[in-house]
Chain A
Amino acid sequence: MESLSNKKKVLVSKPLNLAERMYLPAIASGMATTIGHFFKKPATIKYPEQVREFSINWRGMHSLKRDEQGRERCTACGLCALSCPAEAITMIAAERKNEEKHLYREEKYASVYEINMLRCIFCGLCEEACPKEAIYLDGPIVPADYLRKDFIYGKDKLVEAPLEK
């Protein structure tokens, strides 16, 4: 059959010629290649000390944001939990008391907010669903642990550090 792509290459097995049978020319060229790599910069990143730079659209551990006055933005609407395809998010809503106005921005807030990091697939849909810009996946890599219960991250691990006064 005629080749339409013009990419077909017919291979013929020929006996080796003298230079090929001596191996030495091929060995010399191979060794020139490897010694070239000897002086190249290693590609290794020494992980615990050096960390590879993440790309700008990297999605890592979640963080619950605060507004410019240091109040939690989350209003416990549950849209993130609803949008989550892995069912990793759960929360309990509570009503804000009068003396807690400096802590929570809206009248309703999440008293418990848990993400199961073993279920989470880091798709970022919670981030997209949130109407209050309260959750972002802008953290580091979620670290390894020994027990399943330790992978359920509560507000202590998720909420941003309070503003410096």
Chain B
Amino acid sequence: MEIDFVIEKFILVTAIFAISLVIAMYSTYAERKVAAFLQDRLGPDRAGPFGILQPLADGVKMFMKEEIIPANANKWLFMIGPGLAMLCACIGTAVIPWGQDMMVGDRLVKLQVTDINVGLLYIFGVISLGVYGVMIGGWASNNKYSLLSSIRAASQNISYEIGMGLSIIALLLVTNSLSLREIVAQQHGWQWNVLYQPVGFIVFMVCAFAETNRAPFDLPECEAELNGGYTIEYSSMKLGFYLFAEYINMFVSSTIMAALYFGGYNYPGMDYMATLLGPTWAPLFGTLIFFLKIFAFIFFFMWVRWTIPRFRYDQLMNLGWKGLIPLAIANIIITGIVIAIVNKF
């Protein structure tokens, strides 16, 4: 293994880690601003110009708060919970292809940390692991509300993982590959998967909302019934980690949706831009487009949160088991038939 390969990957990992943390940090700010604008308010505007330093102020506040661990809590698991939530949220971005291969000097740099051939399964697994942070934290708190909340989170995530997996199967029929790099590369220019899989996309998106515990599926942290859910006994930066992990999850989900269905770094006219900007800057421009798509999805997440009321628990289960799963199965069957017919003629 060459030393410059290690350096290249190190820089890439650091950059992606930093970017996803900064985006998650400013998502908290953006969420409050979006909420305010949707409700004819102004939102935070006191810390710095337009309140731009608000996330830093929140962070300092979180660190300065007194740390309380309940006497009857399982201390070890209580501490593992937030860390696990954070870890699972952060490692998801490792297989995302952020751009086309970039020429730096005479060296070809892959804008992807690792290209494993089961990238899609890896992401799927990591997202599923995310619920462990919630479950362990909720159980270790030794509080009935947090326990109820973690049970809800677990059953909700398991139910919606099925729908998500089935919608991905229909996508695999179209792409014939599990490697995220290939899936994104196939969507060159206009050929975005959402044009071939609109129903699959809707199912995937609804499931992504449920997996990230975002409204309208934020039953695990339901304030009115569970007093804040699994975070009820957490204080200081442990609470901060849970809240932060939710925003990182939102970023990762937006990234996956943009990469799988909306072409990732592909955009119409990219071949023309490639001749115009050259092999160094054109991939970076594609990355910029990718991030614009991600921001659009993050905005969509927030827009939905401040529009739709929370689902009732039976409605949630009905939608998941009786709505999305049959829909996803029908989608697989129809996709399979269409592909068979197209291949025949």
Which A residues fall within an 8 A CB radius of B?
21-24, 27, 30-31, 33-35, 37-38, 40-44, 46
Contact = CB atoms under 8 A, between A and B. Distances in A.
Contacts of B40: 37, 40-44
Given A31-B303, A42-B37, A44-B40, 14 more contacts: A21-B323, A22-B323, A23-B319, A31-B307, A34-B307, A35-B38, A37-B39, A38-B34, A38-B38, A40-B40, A41-B40, A42-B40, A42-B41, A44-B42
Nearest to A43: B40
B38 A43 contact: no
Nearest to B304: A31
A134 to B, nearest CB: 42
Nearest to B319: A23
Contacts of B41: 42-44
Contact of A34 (B36, B45, B306): B306
Contacts of B39: 37
Contacts of A42: 36-37, 40-42
A31 B39 CA distance: 12
A97 to B, nearest CB: 54
Nearest to B37: A38
A7 to B, nearest CB: 28
B3 interface: no
Interface in B31-68: 34, 36-42, 45
Interface in B284-322: 303-304, 306-308, 319
11 contacts: A24-B202, A27-B304, A30-B307, A31-B303, A37-B38, A38-B34, A38-B37, A41-B40, A42-B36, A42-B40, A44-B40
Nearest to B306: A34
A137 to B, nearest CB: 32
Interface of B: 34, 36-42, 45, 202, 303-304, 306-308, 319, 323
A42 B303 CA distance: 17
Contacts of A33: 307
Contacts of A44: 40-42
A34 B303 contact: yes
A40 B42 CA distance: 11
A128 B171 CA distance: 80
A43 B303 CA distance: 20
Contacts of A43: 40-41
Max count, chain B CB within 10 A of own CB: residue among A34, A43, A46: A34
Contacts of B304: 27, 31
Given A23-B319, A27-B307, A27-B308, A34 B38 contact: yes
A145 to B, nearest CB: 23
B67 to A, nearest CB: 32
A43 B38 CA distance: 12
Contacts of A21: 323
A44 B38 CA distance: 13
A35 B39 CA distance: 10
Nearest to A31: B307
Contacts of A23: 319
Nearest to B36: A42
Nearest to B309: A30
A151 to B, nearest CB: 28
Contact of B303 (A22, A35, A41, A46): A35
B308 A30 contact: yes
Nearest to A35: B303
Contacts of A22: 323
Max count, chain A CB within 10 A of own CB: residue among B303, B306, B307: B307
Nearest to A26: B308
Contacts of A27: 304, 307-308
A54 B41 CA distance: 21
A27 to B, nearest CB: 6
Nearest to A29: B307
A42 B37 CA distance: 7
A106 B36 CA distance: 58
A34 to B, nearest CB: 4
B120 to A, nearest CB: 26
Contacts of A30: 307-308
Contacts of B38: 34-35, 37-38
A99 to B, nearest CB: 54
A22 B306 CA distance: 20
Nearest to A41: B40
Contacts of B306: 34
Nearest to A22: B323
Contacts of B45: 46
A160 to B, nearest CB: 35
